[in-house]
Amino acid sequence: MFARRIAVVGAGYVGLTTAACLAHLGHRVVCADIDVAKVERLQAGEIGILEPRLAELVTEGTAAGRLQFCVGAAGAVARRGDAPVEVLFLCVPTPMGEGGAADLAAVEAVAAEVRHLLPAGCVVVTKSTVPVGTAGRTRALLRRRDVAVVSNPEFLREGTAVDDFLNPDRIVVGSDQQDAAERVAALYSRLGAPTVLTDAASAEMVKYAANAFLAIKLSYVNALAELCDVLGADVADVTEGMGHDRRIGAAFLSPGPGWGGSCLPKDTSALVQVAAAAGLEFPLVSAGISTNTRQRDLMVDKVRGAVGPLAGARIGMLGLTFKAGTDDLRDSPALAVAELLAAEGAELTAYDPGCLAAVPGVTDAVTVVDDPMRAAKDADALVVLTEWPEFRQLDWTALGGVVGRRVVVDTRNLLDPDVLRRAGFSWIGVGRR
């Protein structure tokens, strides 16, 4: 494998992980961001992202001189000595825009900024999740016949992003120029992962297809859990029986308060919009989205059933982030449930190991504390909303001494009901007997 000179634009989860891991693989990487303060923190070794091993790889790359940070895409592309950039990764935000479609303003802005700076033979890679057709659109914006555009979607899960990058299930690379696709695929040669070489449109579709499938699977098991509640079946036994079927698999079969985060809500909505723009309906994905929205209401119903009227009820929340192992609150189902509880007059106090302080505009309806005992004090119910393993290790006997009522609504089926019952708590799960 030959070391390449790579520019990565965007220093968020995807961009920083991509830059650090490519540097770890031996490439020379410059990572750029428009946030001056963020760049200064990264240059000082401050990561600012809760992601296992990421800080270690950033330190390793900068110490070895293989990883640098700068402000602005132009700075990352500019020639340094005799080494022009060979590959430019676009890892900029593509948030949900009006009507659910992906907002490509950041992609377009970077293309305009670097168009005249890219050296001949450079390959521009869309790493962010983008709608089908973005590679062609980017090529048109660049207006450079001597610059190829490649789609190389990321499959990184927050909390395991570094491991996902370095131990991938597959590498997907798509372009209408085969030689450019092969150059990008070669960047990952040390990983030994199965590689799918295809056209750009198919590569772009892979990411949406995969995420929508996982979202539908989660919505399916949540609907199944509701049915188990009604019929007296145990969803844990049901999903165990399903998971042994190799055609189904055990992953994404855990019921909960709904799916969220930076990917699934955005990507499912975007796929529905892509279908609509093509004159098609996608009722299966639309139903998954609707089921997910309804799931938050069902969790509130469980809390209401446990404590009675919510007006004035004190609720201790265990978990705020959209999943364990991250500090990300984007589209968190825990916050969605909190908003519904607050709308009915509940008083909310929350503890989350990844979010120990209030976030203005995000956790306004919740008093955030740094100790689970404070969250539990005088609570009419404790509600588990994020699957942090730490919650299994809590001293439930001690918590029982400070709560107002010994009731736990476990929307993740995370806790051992027998441990809770021995501590005097009533335990209410999702789809469990």
Please write down the long-range contacts of 33-41, taking CB distance under 8 Å and 24 or more positions apart.
33/9, 33/69, 33/71, 34/71, 34/72, 35/11, 36/71, 38/11, 39/11, 39/69, 39/70, 39/71
Catalytic position from the list 21, 122, 263, 355: 263
C-beta separation of 396 from 416 below 8 A? no
The 3 state secondary structure assigned to the chain is CCCCEEEEECCCHHHHHHHHHHHHCCCEEEEEECCHHHHHHHHCCCCCCCCCCHHHHHHHHHHCCCEEEEECHHHHHCCECCECCCEEEECCCCCECHHHCECCHHHHHHHHHHCCCCCCCCEEEECCCCCCCHHHHHHHHHCCCCCEEEECCCCCCCCCHHHHHHCCCCEEEECCCHHHHHHHHHCCHHHCCCEEEECHHHHHHHHHHHHHHHHHHHHHHHHHHHHHHHHCCCHHHHHHHHHCCCCCCCCCCCCCCCCCCCCHHHHHHHHHHHHHHCCCCCHHHHHHHHHHHHHHHHHHHHHHHHHCCCCCCEEEEECCCCCCCCCCCCCCHHHHHHHHHHHCCCEEEEECCCCCCCCCCCCCCCEEECCHHHHHCCCCEEEECCCCHHHHHCCHHHHHCCCCCCEEEECCCCCCHHHHHHCCCEEECCCCC
Residues 168, 174, 178, 184, Cα dihedral to 10°: -40
The residues pairing with 8 across neighbouring beta strands, listed in sequence order, are: 31, 89
Is 263 among the catalytic positions? yes
Catalytic positions, written as ranges: 263
